[in-house]
Amino acid sequence: MEHTLTAPLTQPVPPLNCRQRFVRTLDGDAVDRPPVWLMRQAGRYMAEYRAVREKHSFLQMVHTPDLAAEVTLQPVRRLGVDAAILFSDILTIPEAMGITVAFPEGGPQLHPVVTTAAAVDALAPASAAERLTYVADAVRLVRGELGDSHALIGFSGAPFTLACYMVEGHGSKTYDSVKALMYTDPALFARLLDKLADWVIAYLTMQLQAGADAVQMFDSWAGELRAEDYRRHVLPSTLRIARAIADRGGRLMLFARNPGHLQDAVAEVPAAVIGLDQRADLASAARRAKAAGQAVQGNLDPIELFAPPATIAARVADMYAQVDGCAWVANLGHGITPRTPMAGVEAFVQAVQQLPARSG
């Protein structure tokens, strides 16, 4: 998708509603102020979320459209963020492919692991994506509640991050099983990522058709790879997804965690927005994105939300100066942590809401 930034402003931009502000930013158009939302904004730091969670398991909330829609909407009501992001989980795709997914204390567990050709062949093809219609139902419910007032973001895990969980069977610090598969049987690894890419395309398309304004793809573990390995083994599937979404007229937001050494490769992805984690140099990323006609998103350290409101406001102003006219979606560099004080979250959102229009 090509995005052309407008010329420097000569007239003030009239006030926009939240949905207009978000969509225009992704399209590279002038806005009255940057839009703001927060990764993992529906979560345990909110009393409203905890009240729902006390009555239902995590998977019940993910699988039940009414519950998923309710917790998706909670941050919009409480904080006034510009965009809601659908409450779900990246492991919906492995589950729909036939993997058993559980969430005991300590993190997700997947069974059986996918380490052989037979295991890859046994995974359901993307034609079975109708198993995920409960997600589309939740998107439609949220869209109906939001109307045209606020933006709605859908999401998916990226093929490599999904493969990490499916090959390891759980989270990992070393990713030795998935990397070993990549190094010892690159053809099989490519088949797995290709199959996952088919699913991601179908899944994100489903969410866009159900009413999402944009879709974010999380490649949480991309930074664990050497740049050469990312480019050789992972980038092809990422490019295929990005091009497919662009061909469908959709807006893709790409977030890769700890990707500093991957920036040259990530810059090749035709996404509307490049998400940045807190380690990234916001100023240099914004210069690169502006030249490519893209927006940037991020990248406050989530733990900075523990700081006093005045400190948070000063950081927001500093971030805005760093983007220097690039289209910018104010956000965190990763998800909110459960113990985050509401005062810090409110201070961040309010500081962004008080920023002036982009100057060019």
Question: Backbone phi, then psi, for 83, in 5-degree steps?
Answer: -135, 140
40 part of the active site? yes
Half-sphere exposure of 118 (CA within 13 A, CB side): 1
Options 44, 78, 131, 287, the catalytic residue: 44
301 part of the active site? no
Residue 350 CA, chain-centre distance (Å), reads 22
Per-residue DSSP letter, 333: S
Whether omega for the bond prior to residue 17 falls within 30 degrees of 0, making it cis, is no
Question: Backbone phi, then psi, for 340, in 5-degree steps?
Answer: -60, 130
Beta carbons of 125 and 93 less than 8 angstroms apart: no
Options 45, 49, 165, 203, the catalytic residue: 165
Options 32, 89, 219, 277, the catalytic residue: 89
Residue 73 CA, chain-centre distance (Å), reads 17
Options 21, 24, 33, 40, the catalytic residue: 40
CA distance 178 to 256: 18
Residue whose pair of structure tokens reads 């982009």 in the numeric block: 358
288 part of the active site? no
Task: Using alpha carbons, select from 328, 341, 229 the residue that is nearest to residue 276.
Answer: 328
**Residues carrying an active site annotation:** 40, 44, 53, 89, 165
